[in-house]
Structure 1
Amino acid sequence: MERDLLFQLRTKHNLTQKELAEKLDISTVYVRKLEKGVVNPGRETMLKYEHFFGKDMRKLFPDLFFNHYDKKLIKNA
């Protein structure tokens, strides 16, 4: 699952993946993988993103906090 908000915020701030990585003190590859949803961030990385962009980590990484496969939601839909 791609994390579109991470990409949107980065581009809104006119940052490349490399520039953001330098500002957050993480690798460029890690930024790319986080945006694509290939890897999950640790707590420290989520806090870095949260402080840098001023957005709650639950909005930045919704796939980690909300279960999209909740059977009760499927039954109600």
Structure 2
Amino acid sequence: MLKHYRVDKDLTQNDLAKKVGIATITIRKIENGQRNPSNKTARKISLTLGQTMDEIFPDIFLLSNDTKSIKSKMKH
């Protein structure tokens, strides 16, 4: 989803990397699924693109939220 939102904002990988303060190769690897962003990087990307982290990275952040929800339910 990162590429979708980046292109929607008419940004190149290099543009986004500069705005976020990371290397272009990092954006490329995140988009290709070769690397997951840290929470800090994901937050910066989401703020830059004006989307939530779970919208841009649904496989990473929705899964972790679901896991927390499941663990919470198991305690009860």
Find the counterpart in structure 2 of residue 58 from structure 1: 54
When normalised by structure 1's length, the TM-score is: 0.73
2:28 aligns to what? Answer: 32
Judge conservation of contact 2:5–2:56 (CA < 8 Å) in 1: no
- The aligned length equals 63
Gaps of 5+ in 2: 65-76
More helix by share: 2
Alpha-carbon displacement from aligned partner over 1:31-77 (angstroms, at most 9, x marks no partner) = 0011111101111101101111121111111111328xxxxxxxxxx
- 2:18 is matched with which residue? 22
The answer to whether 1:7 aligns with 2:3 is: yes
Identity of aligned residues (%): 38
User: After the TM superposition, which segments of 4 or more aligned residues of structure 1 sit over 4 Å from their partners?
Assistant: none
Cα RMSD, aligned residues only: 1.4
TM-score (norm 2): 0.74
